[in-house]
Amino acid sequence: MRPPLDLLDNRPPPSRGNSRGLLVFAVLFTGGLTLILGRPASSQKLASLPAIVVSSGEAEYRTETDTLRRGEVLAQVLARQSLSPNQTAEAVEALSAYANPRRLRAGVAVQVSRTAWDSLVDVTVHVDPDRLVRLVPNGTGWGAELSELTVTVDTMVVAGVIESSLYNSVMDLPLVGLSAQERIEQMMWGIYDPFQWSIDFGLDIRSGDRYRAVYERHVRPDGSVRYGKVLAAEFVNRGKIYRAYWYPEREEYFDEDGGSMRRVFLKAPVDFRRISSRFSKRRYHPKLGVYRAHLGTDYAADTGTQVFSTADGTVTRADWWGGYGRLVEIRHVNGYRTRYGHLSAITRGIKAGVKVRQGQVIGRVGSSGLATGPHLHYEMLHNGKQIDARAVNLPSGEPVASDHLAEFRRQRERLVSYLRRAEETGGRLVD
């Protein structure tokens, strides 16, 4: 209950002595606080305070390495490394200046560096064995820096003997640091390339065949190795010696006399596994149950294996044709034609009238038509008559020009000396 107003008005006024005491107390109290707490922040001279370094910043960071897994894209790896959606999107966009982020292969290393306080420093993507891209966040997004690893180039000669196949022989070579895929792509195909017009590696290879090859070898700073161009190769097949030498001025292989290793037709139209049937005038047809001429060569391979044209030419038909199933027929120079039957698919754009190049993919191995299993049926015709493609004497490409023969022979002799130093067990450094 509030007191009456008249009682409040009759209260005695405060004495002057008490007011002075309160004033002195307030001054002393605030002054003491100033002494204890210091002046207000607005009056301090912060610029005069010395800077104190609490960490170097240069040494205090950590790096974690992740790997792109099969079926993954880069964005998934960055998300796994706790980058935000915005950081991930900007980093992927920055990388696209030097590499397609969606075409990175499984196994690509991705390094993420952070400070000791967990602030992101950079992301390094090893886009291929010889290049890496450093992605750095900045105030406006992300920057990208491409670095190409410095490699040491030398020369290695390898040699081996075939017991069952070239593939198995290359896999058995005692070479350190090469994966199975690298042995196939760098070693086996390197031996195959110079002789693909001379030797059918699915049909002609025999136990006891042997080979030697001189490779350009690239050694990276981490010690890993990549084998480059085959500079010279020798293949002994059924006692016959084939030799090929790379001539950089023409960027192709030539034999000892300067003749081109290239022919109008390749020996085989498919990356084969084995051949199930050869050219024959009489063969039992397992599906029809009768004997009939088999005027071609069958290359057994997995469904979907690429089939390529053995020579330049013009497509005359690309459709279904009776027992051939899906078939592509190509017209070549000098009255030659080739046929590719039992395909599972014909490459998009391959149709009558289209010109194709040697080695161009025209379809996929299948079992369409009268086929007992997946394989390619390959035929060659000359002036309308079916012939054995393996027995025909195929014309070659242009030889080394006469005014360049002396230089070619000098380069050949140096490579021959390397081949002579090869041993039939593994590889040997020659330069």
pLDDT tens string 373-416: 898 999 999 999 999 887 777 778 899 999 999 999 999 999 99
Do 315 and 353 form a contact (C-beta atoms < 8 A)?
yes
Do 83 and 128 form a contact (C-beta atoms < 8 A)?
no
One domain, residues 162 and 132: no
For the chain, what percent of residues have pLDDT higher than 90? 48
Q: Which pLDDT belongs to residue 268?
A: 87
Q: 67-76, 160-169, 335-344 — which is least confidently predicted?
A: 160-169
β-sheet bridge partners, residue 263:
396
Give the pLDDT mean for 183-205: 87
Which residue carries 């000669």 as its tokens?
Answer: 157
Please, which pLDDT band fits residue 38 given cuts at 50, 70 and 90?
very low
Q: Which pLDDT belongs to residue 139?
A: 78
The enclosing domain of 175 has a CATH number of 3.10.450.350
One domain, residues 332 and 374: yes
Give the pLDDT mean for 238-260: 94
CA dihedral 46, 50, 54, 57 (to 10 degrees): 90
Q: Which domain covers residue 111, as residue numbers?
A: 61-148
Q: Which pLDDT belongs to residue 63?
A: 93
Residue 136 falls inside a structural domain: yes
Q: Is 402 helix (H, G, I), strand (E, B) or coil?
A: helix
Output helix, strand, coil percentages for the chain, rounded to the nearest 5.
25, 35, 40
Residue 29 falls inside a structural domain: no
For the chain, what percent of residues have pLDDT higher than 70? 78
Which tops the pLDDT comparison, 61 or 331? 331
One domain, residues 199 and 137: no
Among 115, 148, 181, identify where a domain stops.
148
pTM attached to this predicted model:
0.64
Q: Which pLDDT belongs to residue 57?
A: 46
Among 128, 148, 168, identify where a domain stops.
148
One domain, residues 159 and 123: no
One domain, residues 220 and 280: no
Among 129, 148, 167, identify where a domain stops.
148
Q: Which pLDDT belongs to residue 332?
A: 95
Q: 26-35, 227-236, 341-350 — which is least confidently predicted?
A: 26-35
Residue 393 falls inside a structural domain: no
Q: Which pLDDT belongs to residue 42?
A: 44
One domain, residues 209 and 298: no
Do 145 and 136 form a contact (C-beta atoms < 8 A)?
yes
Please, which pLDDT band fits residue 76 given cuts at 50, 70 and 90?
very high
Residue 48 has pLDDT above 70, yes or no: no
Question: How many alpha carbons fall within 13 Å on the CB side of residue 370?
Answer: 13
Residue 415 falls inside a structural domain: no
Residue 19 falls inside a structural domain: no
Please, which pLDDT band fits residue 184 given cuts at 50, 70 and 90?
confident
Question: How far is CA 347 from each of CA 272, 315, 360, rounded to the nearest angstrom?
Answer: 19, 12, 10
Q: For the chain, give the mean pLDDT.
A: 81
Residue 149 has pLDDT above 70, yes or no: yes
Task: Write the burial class of residue 233 (CB in 10 Å: 0-12 exposed, 13-18 middle, 19+ buried).
Answer: buried
Q: Is 32 helix (H, G, I), strand (E, B) or coil?
A: helix
Residue 113 falls inside a structural domain: yes
One domain, residues 129 and 167: no
Q: Is 43 helix (H, G, I), strand (E, B) or coil?
A: helix
Q: Which pLDDT belongs to residue 329?
A: 98
- Using only the alpha carbons of the chain, give its radius of gyration: 39
Residue 413 falls inside a structural domain: no
Q: Which pLDDT belongs to residue 283?
A: 44
Q: Which pLDDT belongs to residue 151?
A: 82
One domain, residues 279 and 377: yes
Q: Which pLDDT belongs to residue 204?
A: 83
Give the pLDDT mean for 4-29: 45
Residue 47 has pLDDT above 60, yes or no: no
Residue 293 has pLDDT above 60, yes or no: no
Domains contained in the chain, number: 3
Sign of CA dihedral 315, 320, 322, 323: positive
Residues 6 or more apart from 151 whose CB is under 8 A from it? 130, 218, 219, 220, 221, 226
Please, which pLDDT band fits residue 424 given cuts at 50, 70 and 90?
low
Residues 6 or more apart from 260 whose CB is under 8 A from it? 252, 253, 254, 396, 397, 398, 399
Residue 190 falls inside a structural domain: yes
| CA angle (100 as vertex; 106, 222 as ends), nearest 5 | 55
One domain, residues 105 and 203: no
Taking the C-alpha atoms of residue 50 and residue 211, their distance in angstroms, rounded to an integer, is 74
| CA angle (116 as vertex; 110, 117 as ends), nearest 5 | 105
Of 306, 296, 241, give the one whose Cα is nearest residue 273.
306
One domain, residues 310 and 233: no
One domain, residues 226 and 299: no
Taking the C-alpha atoms of residue 327 and residue 377, their distance in angstroms, rounded to an integer, is 9
Please, which pLDDT band fits residue 82 given cuts at 50, 70 and 90?
very high
Do 307 and 326 form a contact (C-beta atoms < 8 A)?
no
One domain, residues 286 and 245: no
The pair phi, psi for residue 384, each rounded to 5°, is 85, -5
